[in-house]
Amino acid sequence: MNCKKILFGISSWMIFFITAAFAVSCCTMLFVTTLSETLDITLTKENISVAAKLTFANVLLISLIFTVIDAIRRRLMVERPSKRIIEAGEKITSGDFSVRIEPFSDNHAYESFNSIIHCFNKMAEELGSLETLRTDFIANVSHELKTPLSVIQNYGTMLHSPDLPDEKRIEYAKGITENSRRLASLITNILKLNKLENQQIFPVSERFDLSEQLCQSLLQFEEKWEQEGIEIETDIADEIYINSDAELLGLVWNNLLSNAFKFTEIGTVSVFLIADEDYATVKISDTGCGISAETGTHIFEKFYQGDTSHAMQGNGLGLALVKRVIDIMQGEITVESEVGKGSTFTVKLKRGEVVGMEKAD
């Protein structure tokens, strides 16, 4: 290591020596030739020998001074900031994403390093939030998996009891079926969201009747609204064709409608569709419990459940999926809601081809 440093010192000194020797020799030769020609002086061997020795010593001294100045400049302007960045980089590699580098106060002298430091700090911040998201995600998934699994385990254990009345046996079996369904839906949603986020699902663009699709989606909840006495209101414009991915959009209506029914105990669920030449706008409203302003800021986050009384009926992934699909379709989704009065989700979609979507065969 030390040997390398010495060799590096000598090589940088050699560069200055050669440069200074070249510059001084050229100047001296020019000066001496001009002087001897103008003054008509004849230079003797001794004169030249003395001048050459002096010049050589001069070159040595100048190059030495340059080398020292360069070494100090290098240490202050290059090695010191590089060391700071390298040390921070090593901390990041060992998993400490909280590290940040203090920028240099003399922005003029360290402009390039300050730009690198700025990018580095941003990268560390992004990595830190990704890490938090990853650990939160794992914690959420584990929690969501554990709850139905322990319920299944409990019902399973209770079913072992030999003299269990028939109605209890049916109740426990129902509990097992219901919780397995929850688990399956959780895993399906995680996989779907993962595929959508990693762009493993390539949305295909096909022309289809959005009016028809909305009616079909709504009809899937017929049993529910009849059982619970929920009123239905529709104002769906006829034959509104759009170019989009029907399957992914089906997922959107299904989630929005299932939430509208889930959060409405008595009241009305309404579906509206209007369109102009370029855009189709779908409104799904309910007169249910509504969403508070605080909850409203989180509803599109993964695993977020604002209303814990309905937690068992979902997993907090529905609206995250909806948002992802709408983003892929380059559409817009907005929510208006008032606690105790209900909520309206509005989805605005382009009717024409969306850039980046493949055409269906």
Looking up tokens 């139905």 gives 148
Q: Is 305 in the site for ligand ADP (CB under 6 A)?
A: yes
Q: Is 260 in the site for ligand ADP (CB under 6 A)?
A: yes
Of 91 and 348, the one with the shorter C-beta distance to ligand ADP is 348
Q: Tell me the three state secondary structure of residue 336.
A: strand
Enclosing H/E stretch for 127: helix 111-159
Q: Is 267 in the site for ligand ADP (CB under 6 A)?
A: no
Of 209 and 301, the one with the shorter C-beta distance to ligand ADP is 301
Longest dimension (CA), the chain: 133
Tokens of 260: 């509208």
Q: Is 307 in the site for ligand ADP (CB under 6 A)?
A: yes
Of 217 and 315, the one with the shorter C-beta distance to ligand ADP is 315
Q: Other CB atoms closer than 10 Å to residue 162's CB: what's the count?
A: 4
Q: Which residues pair with 332 in a beta bridge?
A: 348
Q: Do the strands 204-209 and 358-359 form a parallel or antiparallel pair, or are they unpaired?
A: parallel
Q: How far is the CB of 245 from ligand ADP (least distance, A)?
A: 20
Q: Is 259 in the site for ligand ADP (CB under 6 A)?
A: yes
Q: Tell me the three state secondary structure of residue 162.
A: coil
Q: How many residues bind ligand ADP (CB under 6 A)?
A: 23
Find how far residue 78's CA is from the centre of its chain.
Answer: 33
Q: How far is the CB of 260 from ligand ADP (least distance, A)?
A: 5
Segment near ligand ADP (CB under 6 A); pick from 68-76, 101-109, 129-137, 315-323: 315-323
Sheet of 231-236, strand order: 231-236, 268-275, 279-286, 342-350, 332-338
Choose which of 319, 329, 333, 347 interacts with ligand ADP (CB under 6 A).
Answer: 319
Secondary structure E strands in the chain? 204-209, 231-236, 241-244, 268-275, 279-286, 332-338, 342-350, 358-359
Tokens of 331: 């559409």
Q: Is 257 in the site for ligand ADP (CB under 6 A)?
A: no
Q: Residue 108, class by beta-carbon neighbours within 10 Å (0-12 exposed, 13-18 middle, 19+ buried)?
A: exposed
Q: How far is the CB of 294 from ligand ADP (least distance, A)?
A: 11
Q: Is 63 in the site for ligand ADP (CB under 6 A)?
A: no
Q: Residue 178, class by beta-carbon neighbours within 10 Å (0-12 exposed, 13-18 middle, 19+ buried)?
A: middle
Choose which of 103, 175, 288, 331 interacts with ligand ADP (CB under 6 A).
Answer: 288
* In the complex, residue closest to ligand ADP by CB: 314
Q: How far is the CB of 153 from ligand ADP (least distance, A)?
A: 23
Handedness of CA 166, 168, 170, 173 (dihedral sign): negative
Of 271 and 320, the one with the shorter C-beta distance to ligand ADP is 320
Give the contact letters, 320-349, x = binds to ligand ADP (CB under 6 A), - = no: x----------------------x------
Q: Is 148 in the site for ligand ADP (CB under 6 A)?
A: no
Closest CA to 228 of 193, 282, 195, 266: 266
Q: How far is the CB of 159 from ligand ADP (least distance, A)?
A: 28
Segment near ligand ADP (CB under 6 A); pick from 102-110, 126-134, 241-249, 311-319: 311-319
Binding site for ligand ADP (CB under 6 A): 255, 259-260, 263, 286, 288-291, 295, 299, 304-307, 314-320, 343
